[in-house]
Structure formats: structure tokens, C-alpha cells
Amino acid sequence: MSQLKIYNTLAREKQTFIPIEAGKANMYVCGMTIYDYCHIGHARMMMAFDVIYRWLKASGYQVKYVRNITDIDDKIIKRAVENGESISQLTSRFEKFMDEDTQALGILPPDVVPHATEYVPQMLGIIELLEQKGLAYKGEDGDVNYAVRDFPGYGKLSGKSLDDLRAGERVDVNTGKRDPLDFVLWKASKESEPDEVKWPSKWGSGRPGWHIECSAMSCATLGQHFDIHGGGADLQFPHHENEIAQSEGAFGQAMANYWIHNGFVRVDNEKMSKSLGNFFTIRDVLKKYDAEVVRFFILRAHYRSPLNYSDAHLDDARVALTRLYTALSSIDIGSGECTVDWDEAHAVRFREAMDDDFNTPIAVAALFDLASEVNKSRSPAQARQLKALASVIGLLGRSPQQFLQAGTGDSGGMSEAAIAGLIEQRAAAKKARNFAESDKIRADLLAAGIVLEDKPDGTTNWRRA
């Protein structure tokens, strides 16, 4: 049996996964800062770790998956003030929207979802430890900062030397710092900020910096040393570099053994981001494309590779996923749960691919090869194997009819009732030997994206093109 290998950003190579505790896998992933709708870039990150979560469980590990919510942040405060609402009103609304989007995409909920505002005491505890060890100091402006040059390992994740580094994107260089590279751990309160973002501390009223939030939440939920830490490639520096400095500086031991980062979504060869204005929200995309098509589109690329977003690529994903469902469409596989036979040849290839740093493109290729076998053999056993194997990565969960008849923007909005009515009219026309009318109805339906499946006893089924 193959062994799971993970590309570890910290080591810059694939490494065999050896958990801290045999049979268990603890994973922390940096989640959303919730002040707006999630876009496809966010979906790609959550999908990457959903697949990792699913595969760890399929491999027999007892998994504890933690994905946090950042519900206190400069952007959140700014948006709430602009909207004239409280921070909690803003964040609870967009957390609900995020949950709706992820559920639609088949992304499993994490085991633990810590919110930053619930862990301020733990953050203050870590900052105090850092101060005691000479790694934190209070600046003239009242902020408490991390002394980057006093932590010997700084830069080991990003591979940057101190001379090459610059202050992080979310950190304003100010006169209160001893060094421009130092980053804020505790922000002194401003009079203009809402009272709900002001917490008491030994350094005065304030709120946590972004980086300390994840150090505190990961430690509180998984311990000071855990197996896997993940997030988008944009978090590698400065966020994850700063987390390592905080956690390892405070506790004197490795924070996480494996660091996993997913690649960007790109549009016209540029990273998809709100700052560039080239992002597509999940819910806008789902107005046009079936959610499983979007999931399949993301899974066809390796999680570390760039993912090029376009309608053409989504259209291609829809056609490809239709091929898999069509292979199952005329085979009775029964109503019972399908289980994977891991000794079967396609499953062996699938496992080898997933054990090779979660290589979903190769795993999906094994599904297509198996679908070709199903089309030839019409074997219920092989069809069950296809459905079971696909379910490991969250695909083919519906009946073929449910998928093939699912409405999208491409079908012109024609309802199932309208389609059924036209099929009845066509059957009546054929019975009356009015073949011209029968052919016209078929052609009109095809023009509307509806394909009829005729058999000697009549139209037995239909699907959307």
C-alpha cells in the first residue's frame, strides 16, 4: 500500500506524513475574514482542505480539522462603520452566507470553528509570554509589537532573509516600532473605533493584531504542537511566518510539522483578488453553473497549481462531469450505500494519486477510465465502484437524473414541468403520426438545451445539454 506524501512548504519537498500521535491527524487552516461574500479564490482554498480532510479520513485517520473565523479586523471595522451596523451584525450575516456557499459546493464543515473574538484572553496570554522572553515590547504609540530580529528562525517558512523582508501587507510601518519589520501584536484603541472592538489589557485598551489570532486559536484547539497547518499561498508571508515567530517564540517548540499552501485562482494571468476587482463571488457563479460543476472544475487542477478561471473552463467541466453521470444513467445500482473496493485496479490508481500529495487530477483520470469500463460492460458492480470512488472526493453524490436534469443558466430557465408538457405533446404528435410536429418539438427542446433520450417504447428520459 502506498504511503501518504505531502508537499511541506517548510521543507520545500514532499515528505511522508508521520502524525505526532499514531492514527490521528490534527489540522488547522486559516479561514475567512468575514465582511463580504466569498469569491472563487476562497472556494479554491476551502475546497483544497476539504479534499485533504476527506482523504485523511478515508485513509483511516481520526481527524480534528479546525478552520477559524476572523471576526475582528481593520476591514471589518471599516465596513461595519460604513454600514452603520455593529461588528457582530456584519460578521454573523456574512458567516451565514459563507456557510450557505460552502454547503452548496459540498465542502464539509470543519470539526471546530473558533472565532477570534472568543479567544482574546488566550491572545493576551501569548503576548505576555513573548514580553517576558524579550520578544514583545510596547511602542510609544501604545501598540505592542513583536521584535522580529530577536527571533532567530524568522524567515524559515518563506525562505526570505531578514535583509530581503519588508513589513507585512496588513501592517502599517509607524514611529512606535523599533524596526520596520516588527509587526503588531496588540493595537491600542482609537477613540473613533466602536466600543465592541476594545478589550482591557495590561498595556491598555486595545484589540489583537491579525497574526496573534491564529497562534492563539490553533494552540487553544490543537495544542502548542500539531500536525498540519494550511492556508492560501498568499498567507505564507507574512501571516504564517509571523504565526511561527509568535508560537515558537512563546512556547519554545515547533508549531506544526507540515505546512500546506494552495495555489491562486487566476483571471487573464492575474491573481483573482478584491483589490484588483477581478473576482467572482461564489454565489454569482452558482447562478450560472451547477455547484457540482464548480466543485469538479476546482478538483481537476492540483491544489498547489494555479487555477485559471473562465466560463470556457467551467463549460468544459460541465461536459466532462456529464460524461461521468451519463455512464451511470442507465444502470440500476440499487438504493444501498456504495462502498469502495480498494483492491480494484482503478481504486489502486486513485489511492496512489491521492497519496501523492492529494493529486486530484490523476485521481479524476482514474474515474474517467473506470467510467469507460462501465460504458462497455454495463456492470452494476463497476458502476457502484465508480460512484463510491467519486464520493471520496465529494463527486457523483446525486442520482444521474438529478444531475442531468438540474437547471442552470444554460437551459434558458425552462422548468421541468414545461419540459414534461412538451414531451407529452410530442408523444401525442407521434401517436397521430404528425412526425413534422414531433420533430419540431424535439428541435425546439434541443435549441433550449434539452436533449431527449428516445427508446422504442418512447421518450424514457431527458437531460440538459
> Is 219 annotated as a binding-site member?
no
* Count of all residues that appear for the chain in the document: 465
Distance between CA 459 and CA 447 in Å, rounded? 17
Supply the DSSP symbol for 36. Answer: S
243 labeled binding residue: yes
Q: Where does residue 105 fall: left (phi above 0), alpha (psi -120 to 50 degrees), or beta otherwise? A: alpha
DSSP alpha helices (H): ranges in 231-302?
241-251, 282-286, 291-299
Q: Is 274 annotated as a binding residue?
A: yes
- CA-wise closest residue to 183 among 127, 219, 221, 144: 144
Cβ burial, residue 387 (10 Å; 0-12/13-18/19+): buried
Cα–Cα distance measured from residue 451 to residue 315, given in angstroms and rounded to the nearest whole number: 17
How far apart, in whole angstroms, are the C-alpha atoms of residue 73 and residue 86?
13
Supply 367's cell numbers.
474515474
Q: Report angle CA 292, 38, 206 to the nearest 5 degrees.
A: 150
The string of DSSP letters for 62-107 reads EEEEEEEEE---HHHHHHHHHHTS-HHHHHHHHHHHHHHHHHHTTP
437 is in an annotated binding site: no
- Binding-site positions for ATP: 274
- Binding-site positions for Zn(2+): 30, 214, 239, 243
- Binding-site positions: 30, 214, 239, 243, 274
